[in-house]
Structure 1
């Protein structure tokens, strides 16, 4: 498992913020930068500190988008890190299915340790969806 496949939201935030006097931006500075582009929501410095310290917080799409924006991170990466930390889910592409014409990639959230062979109905659904997409393309 790659390091990125195991990172949490706490790691993403704590590795990119620091105390006054460090070379990293402070929680206050990151709060100013972290604005959800959809709603304008901005998490407080205290909330970012709680996330960095792995404390429980109310996770919302607005918060995740604000963190992705403020920390200049890919939204999907931040979403996956939050799912790992707060839901205990692992998010990946367990079936290694070929890309469709539109380069769609299916990601599946599951408990750690679950393998593709443990998800036969999910695989069937994805294969049916890919066939339906091909049929509609004709």
Structure 2
């Protein structure tokens, strides 16, 4: 467990706290910017405050996009942080396989890493080299 009592850390809350500190804006001011560009969902300052206090929230569609807009971060980065904090999922590139043309993201359990996923690494390397096995390459 982390020192806050959350077993997977608080990366979602960390993003909110850092944005507040970096911008000097209150949660009320950040909430004025908290509108998901895709769904139009707006997130209020109480929700932003709850996230920053590492409390649970109702994570419905659009909330992550609204938070990303409020703090000026990519939705992908914010979604990964929320998934880790609330679901215990780690999403990263444990193989260093991302390039400027393709981002590799593997979702895995905390505590697992490259050494625990040799078949995933082999598959990704083959895919990158254009050598996918026939059963994965064929359209059915």
TM-score of the alignment, normalized to the shorter chain, above 0.5: yes
2:18 maps to 1:15: yes
Matches within 5 A, 1:1-138: 8-17=11-20, 24-97=24-97, 99=99, 103-130=101-128, 131-132=130-131
Deviations 1:96-118, CA, capped at 9 Å, x for gaps? 2374xx71121112122212121
Deviations 1:12-46, CA, capped at 9 Å, x for gaps? 1123337xxxx821221111111000111101111
Stretches of structure 1 lacking an aligned partner (at least 5 in a row): 1-5
Question: Which 4+ runs in 1 deviate beyond 4 A?
Answer: none
Aligned 8 A contact 2:91 2:108 in 1: yes
TM-score normalised according to structure 1 size: 0.75
Deviates more, 1:65-74 or 1:9-18: 9-18
Stretches of structure 2 lacking an aligned partner (at least 5 in a row): 1-8
Aligned-residue RMSD, C-alpha: 2.6
Note the C-alpha offset of 1:60.
Answer: 3.5
